[in-house]
Structure 1
Amino acid sequence: METFISVVIIFGLLISFHEFGHLLLAKRAGILCREFAIGFGPKLFSIKKGETVYTLRLLPIGGFVRMAGEDPEIIEIKPGHRVGLMFNNAGLVNKIIINKTAKYPQAKMVTVEHADLEKDLLIKGYEQEDGELISYPLDRKADYVVDEQGYQIAPLDRQFGSKSLLDRFLAIFAGPFMNFLLAFIVFIIYFSIQGVPSDAPKLGKLVQGDPAAKAGLHQGDRVIKIDDHTIDSWKDIMIYVNQHPSEELSFTIERNNHIRHVDVTTNERKSPEGGKEGFMGVYAPTEESFIGTIKGGVTQTYFFIKQELIGIKMLVTGAVGLDQLAGPVGIYNITGKVVNQGFLLLLNWTAVLSINLGIINLLPLPALDGGRILFLIVEGLRGKPVDPQRETLVHFIGFALLMLLMIVVTWNDIQKIFLQ
């Protein structure tokens, strides 16, 4: 249960930041945002603030911002359609009742001859069959009501496609950018609690039961020499210890302005290169510094972005296979292990996942933000947009392929869990 709650909170946070980026820049550009949704599937909760309905949906595996003009309008009013009209104090139509008009006895019933809800913002129609054709101007924020649910009309200048190339690019790019920003913020919190790694020739936290603690070394001890080797940094300590597995080393340290000598016999473990290396159970020293915390946030965010790009390159070149990818099941399993190792590691894992989400979304693949940006780049080069129907088809095919990939990755995740 603890793992499930952690996953829901983490994914909710990542998705919320991502979609909030889209929402913020879309609204800044004047785009009508009909819905801000966390999750997919049936609605669990919804509330309308201003023009936007904020919803929480059943499946916490994504989210979306429904911008006017990206999808076909929910309803099309055609000639001969009988609708009810309601007016504001200025005499402009502010509600168009599409069906169940009997529930709105105060509405004026009109048989539509012509309706333009995007450009001219008017409805022309007849109150009586042999009556006069009358034009009814619309309020720019008028709603059309379907099954007693109101949907705001979208004048052309409020639609996604009517905005400049730069505004549309920013509205799309803002989602992944917010994931990078979230990672930066989480790393700052992490370093504020944990401390900023330092290269000073000092000892950080000691692992109880490991050689350093057994020998009597303390956190904060300044190492002057190891054997006859002068130490100037934490890196010097690590290099020397790694080079001497299962050996007794003589540490010359300074503690409380006194020089002491402590002998430590290192343990042995397998090195990343496959050989042997020594270790004694000491973490790097840390320091408290506001500037260092900010710098640490930047450095860690850059490092993991770089590592993610290297991983994608290896996947594309075939250096690693699809079996190395982790889907929702794999991430859930890893998160469960991280939760058991403490809050700080969970913070670090949250930041890494946020970077992962940002990078993946920027890949130039259909149905992802990167694919949409690619179409905008093509539009900029051509001087005109790609046919909307073709773009929709490409995104649909891309989404289907992504779902197929997700199934394959999930199957691999399940196999790994049961083979552990």
Structure 2
Amino acid sequence: MIHTIVAPIIVFAVIVLVHEFGHFIMAKLTGMKVEEFAIGFGPKICSVRYGETLYSLRILPLGGFNRIMGMDNQEYTDKRAFVNRPVWQKLLVVSAGAAFNILLAFAIFTGVIWHEGKAVFPDYPVIGEVISDTPAERAGLEAGDRILYIGKSKIDKWTDIHGALANAGNTVLEVQISRAGVRHTVTVIPANRDGRTILGITAYVQVTPVSFTESLHMAADRCVAVIVGVGKGLMYIISGSPQGEVAGPIGIARIAGNVADTGILPLLLFIAILSLNLGVMNLLPIPLLDGGVIVLTVLEGLYGRKLPEKTLFYIQMAGIFILGGFFIYAMASDITALFR
């Protein structure tokens, strides 16, 4: 129960704080005036002023926010205001949030891979894990058992198991195994589940240590794979494909609680994947998102001055409409998943 409540708070807080810290640090580096950096939302619990910036802790621990002078598009005489800075500096500040989300994911992937090593599937017919309440557990199979025969089918590789179990659901099978060098024969009745015949075992996976340099390369590959997956998911949603699935706040909170129950490393990996999703989504050229601000900043740079207020109003209304529709779609998916 605690995981269900605390894990989502940790996940959202880390991802949003890292995003906002990206905007904050880049604003500082480019000489802009940051009026406040807040951890959390809502009423202040406490605050301290260091230099020109107020650092505050607020009551709702779901991320945080920045107040950078001039990001409200009002006129300012201070040359350090966002609206008065060069276009390239504005672009750096706006894109830094998504960049830091991507860097967070890269750092987590690197650390986990370096700590855990590289998992390799050697295709040995050796049981890695026996899943509870399955035919394999009831038959007495154990992790480390080497499967020699299923019925009359000789098993040389893990991939041979699928063929040996084809159309064998709910039938009595003799499975010959080698355990600590001693042969045993057990009787198993495979189950039919979702159109598949299963025993309830997972494959043996060989874990080998990797160097820090290797972990950097593998983490980069993982980030690219997730980003490509996000792109494909967006295309599925836009095209109306049933493969296009999206989780809203309820779904993410539910997943975070479930993942937290399995351990700290899976939770870290979930944070990495979600951080990448947030980073990529925030760069979409939709008004009110960072990507939309980037497009407007570029247009204003080309135009030589601010866009007309009426034009900005219509652009912002379009952004509200798009994001509102996406939020409703995500919430509907969450509610449907709860009843599924």
Q: 1:222 to 1:410 in 2, by over 3 A?
A: closer
Higher helix share: 2
Q: 1:385 to 1:240 in 2, by over 3 A?
A: farther
What is the TM-score when the length of structure 2 is the normalising length?
Answer: 0.77
Q: 1:45 to 1:327 in 2, by over 3 A?
A: farther
Shift of 1:367: 0.4
What is the TM-score when the length of structure 1 is the normalising length?
Answer: 0.64
CA distance in structure 1 between the aligned counterparts of 2:311 and 2:64, rounded to whole angstroms: 21
Could you report, residue by residue, the CA deviation over 1:92-136 in whole angstroms, capped at 9, with x for unpaired residues? Answer: xxxxxxxxxxxxxxxxxxxxxxxxx84xxxxxxxxxxxxxxxxxx
Q: 1:229 to 1:326 in 2, by over 3 A?
A: closer
Match in the other structure for 1:312: 234
| Structure with higher RCO (Cα < 8 A, 6+ apart) | 2
Match in the other structure for 1:205: 129
Identity of aligned residues (%): 30
CA distance in structure 2 between the aligned counterparts of 1:263 and 1:385, rounded to whole angstroms: 79
Q: SS in structure 1 opposite 2:280? A: helix
Could you report, residue by residue, the CA deviation over 1:11-57 in whole angstroms, capped at 9, with x for unpaired residues? Answer: 11001111111122222222222222344443333232333222333
CA distance in structure 2 between the aligned counterparts of 1:36 and 1:185, rounded to whole angstroms: 23
Instruction: Answer with 1 or 2: which has the greater Rg.
Output: 1
Contact 2:23 2:93 in 1 (8 A): yes
Q: Write the letter of the residue equivalent to 1:352.
A: I
Runs of 4+ with deviation above 6 angstroms: 222-226
**In the TM superposition, what are the counterparts of 1:124-273 in structure 2 within 5 Å?**
154=78, 156=79, 158-191=80-113, 196-200=118-122, 201=124, 202-212=126-136, 218-220=142-144, 227-231=153-157, 236=159, 239-240=162-163, 243=166, 245-246=168-169, 248=173, 258=181, 265=188, 267-270=190-193
Q: Is residue 204 of structure 2 the alignment partner of residue 280 of structure 1?
A: no
CA distance in structure 2 between the aligned counterparts of 1:15 and 1:260, rounded to whole angstroms: 55
Gaps of 5+ in 2: none
Higher strand share: 1
CA distance in structure 2 between the aligned counterparts of 1:61 and 1:369, rounded to whole angstroms: 19
Q: Write the letter of the residue equivalent to 2:207.
A: E
CA distance in structure 1 between the aligned counterparts of 2:218 and 2:16, rounded to whole angstroms: 24
CA distance in structure 1 between the aligned counterparts of 2:251 and 2:219, rounded to whole angstroms: 26
Contact 2:236 2:242 in 1 (8 A): yes
Q: 1:410 to 1:317 in 2, by over 3 A?
A: closer
Q: 1:277 to 1:25 in 2, by over 3 A?
A: farther
Gaps of 5+ in 1: 77-116, 119-153
Q: SS in structure 2 opposite 1:205? A: strand
Q: SS in structure 2 opposite 1:326? A: coil
Could you report, residue by residue, the CA deviation over 1:241-293 in whole angstroms, capped at 9, with x for unpaired residues? Answer: 6756537475676x76x58576674733445xxx4243432245141423465
